[in-house]
Amino acid sequence: MKKLKRSARLVEMTQYLLIRPHTLIPLTTFADRYNSAKSSISEDLAIIKEVFEEEGLGELQTLAGAAGGVQYIPKVTAAGALQFIHQLCRQLEQPERILPGGYLYMSDILGQPMILNEIGKLFASVFAKRDIDIVMTVETKGIPLAYATATYLNLPVVIVRRDSKVTEGSVVSINYVSGSNKRIQTMSLARRALKEESRVLIIDDFMRVGGTIQGMMDLLQEFKATVEGVGVFVESGEVEEHLVEDYISLAKLSVVDPKSRQIKVVPGTYFKESEIRGE
């Protein structure tokens, strides 16, 4: 590659880092790529690091030594996260969202890539330090949330199907009780879709009692896999006791009154996490 000026190099490196989160890039990669001295690359990275931190894009972590390099860790600031969630809460409180059974219509919100990317970044921030191999969700509405999170964590995604007729070779199916209607349902995962002993982050859009997430956990046992974290977009506040104890929610539906058409949504457990508050 031809020798680039600092200005062009900064543009190039910025995009290169942004599309490769959680990936260690040796300084020699940049030095070779731009035909530049490592000292110049280090100076460039210092400039990028400062802007990323000021803009709340995340951290640039540099590791010294032969196996060293630089890696971009997407992080949302506590203030940025709270502001975003407050806006979302106001949107979720629009009375026309009330559906039969006390559910909320959220498909329009979950259909906006810009919002999803922000949610993905929030989950990627809070789970950044966990040792995770793969992100798991169950069809349908959790899928875009899982991909958005996985993008910022640079991890693959596996989708559990609610169907036992999946034509993907040998399949593991389990029955679970959906908390909301107490019906017995089935979820399945192709044997080849998940390596044994994987460390898994579960992401879903909504949690009431936690039956669906408990189902995913049971399914994971069949793969000798471990759950390293659970993230839900919205949790229902009407339930006193959850089947799942250790989870992170972004928002909590504290009141849904179909009669008075009143909805109250407050920030979730995310904002109790000390990791977020920088402690």
* Stretch of residues binding a copy of itself (CB under 8 A), selected from 62-70, 73-81, 100-108, 239-247: 100-108
257 is a site residue for a copy of itself (CB under 8 A): no
Rule CB under 8 A: which of 60-99 touch a copy of itself?
99
* Stretch of residues binding a copy of itself (CB under 8 A), selected from 61-69, 87-95, 110-118, 243-251: 110-118
Residue 26 or 156 with smaller CB distance to a copy of itself: 156
Residue 50 or 218 with smaller CB distance to a copy of itself: 50
Local structure of 106: helix, strand or coil: coil
d(CA 48, CA 17): 10
d(CA 234, CA 45): 37
DSSP per-residue letters across 245-271: -S-EEEEEEEEEETTTTEEEEEE-GGG
Nearest Cα to Cα of residue 126 among 234, 225, 226, 250: 250
116 is a site residue for a copy of itself (CB under 8 A): yes
d(CA 192, CA 177): 25
168 is a site residue for a copy of itself (CB under 8 A): yes
**Least distance from a copy of itself to the Cβ atom of residue 111, Å:** 5
Whether the bond into 269 is cis, omega within 30 of 0: no
* Stretch of residues binding a copy of itself (CB under 8 A), selected from 87-95, 143-151, 214-222, 251-259: 143-151
Is-contact 267 89, C-beta < 8 A?
yes
* Stretch of residues binding a copy of itself (CB under 8 A), selected from 24-32, 83-91, 154-162, 252-260: 154-162
- Per-residue x/- track, 11-40, a copy of itself (CB under 8 A): xx-xx--xx---------------------
Number of residues that bind a copy of itself (CB under 8 A): 51
Say which residue the tokens 């629009």 belong to.
Answer: 94
Residue 107 or 221 with smaller CB distance to a copy of itself: 107
Q: Are strands 157-160 and 171-177 parallel, antiparallel or unpaired?
A: unpaired
- The burial of 96, by beta-carbon neighbours within 10 Å (0-12 exposed, 13-18 middle, 19 or more buried), is given as exposed
Is-contact 72 17, C-beta < 8 A?
yes
Rule CB under 8 A: which of 214-253 touch a copy of itself?
none
* Stretch of residues binding a copy of itself (CB under 8 A), selected from 84-92, 144-152, 239-247, 269-277: 144-152
Q: What is the largest CA-CA distance in the chain?
A: 68
Q: How far apart are the first and last CA of the chain?
A: 44
Residues contributing to the site for a copy of itself (CB under 8 A): 6-8, 10-12, 14-15, 18-19, 47-48, 50-52, 55, 57, 99-101, 103, 105, 107-108, 111-114, 116-117, 139-140, 143-144, 147-148, 150-151, 154-159, 161, 167-169, 190, 192-193
